[in-house]
Amino acid sequence: MTIQVGGFTSWQAKANASKLTKYNYLSPNLESIRNHLATNFGGTDIGGYLVRNIRGGGFLSSHAFGAAQDISFREAGRDRMHAAIAFLVANSAELGVQAIHDYSGPGLTGNDDRGYIWRTSRSSASDEKIGWKKQRRSSGGMGQTWADWIHVEVCEPAWFDGRPVDERLAGGVASAVAAGAGAGAGATPFDPANGEWGPWQTKTNKPRLARRIVDTPTEREATRYLQGVLNTTGAKLLIDGDFGPKTEHTVHGFQTAQSLGVDGVVGKKTWGQVDVVAGDASKANPLPADPPTEPEPTGFHPEQGAFEAWPTKADKPLLALGQVDTEGEREATRYLQGVAASVGYVLPVDGTFSDRTELVVKKIQGSNGLSADGSVDVKTWKVIDAIATS
């Protein structure tokens, strides 16, 4: 266990096109940390990669570079949240953690109800309580009694290190930085912008991919890898992690060219050929010319990523936890969830106004200057509709 001192990456200073292209998904390091906190401390993912500005400012958030993850402890409780914070600070060098935002307060720092932020730029290797700075209470959640989440950031050298947390802790200090940089670690970053596919090429537990079932950060990362490799065979896909109609039809063409069963589903056999091509693009048979396409869905079809119908419906019902009973309210909830998912929030589009849906509503309200009470009223619907049509 080692507390990191220094080594802080100012992600806001990296606000340029090349950096946004390189870091255009959730850091594998953060995905590993998030999974460890879920298993060992009961944390719940409430948002990671999302291109947006910091609250109240004109600079891009660290979320825009996939370098930040928000984790809720509503169900686990604050004691487990503060235990998770202590764990992250104590192992920050091994994990490449550079900042922690404790929205609830007091965390490791005292007994008041103000939120705090810890950073390696002001930390001490000998005292986990040093490095924290008191924050102003805000409508976005900082220091509020209902706030139950933390924000975790990683530094740039450790961004690519997706090894399990336990493995890194066994490896000793600076292992995250060494693996992320690739120097001497035998790992090539997954970097589509530079044609590098290393980690995914050797990763055997790739998820099964198909249209309309790509939801998790791991599935989106796998889809980006798939899209990048398919582009080396002549495809012209946007490497965005969205398994849409164009990606599906390109997979059809790839399966045809490689003499595989043509179903548009990326399973073990298709992954095997994708990995072969990633290692040597000359081994790919050319894609069929002009693969078939189909129009993008329109109307209210959340399972297909289409939300056009609801923004024009004026009589949307009031939604709140424990108050969604009718089919109309469930339909409105599906629309709400679909719009939130379209801008990076991770939640099921199932029409159930769950605790997670309420948390996402509070975050949207807080980031748009509304009272963060978790209920969807007229003002909140206006914000949701603006997001849906933007």
Please report, for the chain, the start and end positions of each structural domain, with discontinuous segments joined by +.
11-179, 188-283, 300-389
DSSP 182-228: -TTTS---EEGGGTEEHHHHT---PPPB-TT---SHHHHHHHHHHHH
Instruction: Report the candidate in 167, 158, 3, 159 with the shortest Cα–Cα distance to residue 89.
Output: 3
The set of long-range contacts for 80-83, using a CB threshold of 8 Å and a minimum separation of 24, is: 80/41, 80/42, 81/41, 81/43, 81/148, 81/150, 82/107, 82/108, 83/41
Per-residue pLDDT at 107? 47
CATH architecture of 300-389: Orthogonal Bundle (1.10)
Inter-residue contact 181 to 238 (CB < 8 Å): no
The helix/strand/coil state of 33 is helix
Per-residue pLDDT at 181? 39
Per-residue pLDDT at 358? 92
Token pair recorded at residue 40: 């060992």
Per-residue pLDDT at 334? 84
CA–CA gap between residue 161 and residue 31 (Å, rounded) = 10
Side chain identity at 318, as an amino acid letter? L
* Fold match between domain 188-283 and domain 300-389: yes
pLDDT in tens, the chain (390 residues): 688 777 788 876 655 545 666 788 888 889 989 999 999 999 999 888 887 776 655 677 888 888 899 999 888 888 888 889 989 998 888 898 999 988 875 544 444 556 788 888 887 777 777 888 877 766 666 756 677 888 999 988 888 888 888 878 875 443 444 444 333 333 445 554 455 555 555 566 678 888 766 767 677 778 888 888 888 888 888 877 788 888 988 998 888 888 888 888 898 889 888 888 776 656 656 666 554 444 445 555 555 555 555 666 667 888 998 888 888 888 888 888 888 877 778 778 888 898 889 999 999 998 888 999 999 998 999 888 888 776
DSSP summary character for residue 290:
S
Considering the entire predicted model, what is its pTM? 0.47
Q: What class is the 188-283 domain?
A: mainly alpha
Instruction: Report the candidate in 300, 307, 332, 308 with the shortest Cα–Cα distance to residue 318.
Output: 332
Per-residue pLDDT at 46? 87
Per-residue pLDDT at 306? 58
Per-residue pLDDT at 147? 75
CA–CA gap between residue 231 and residue 199 (Å, rounded) = 18
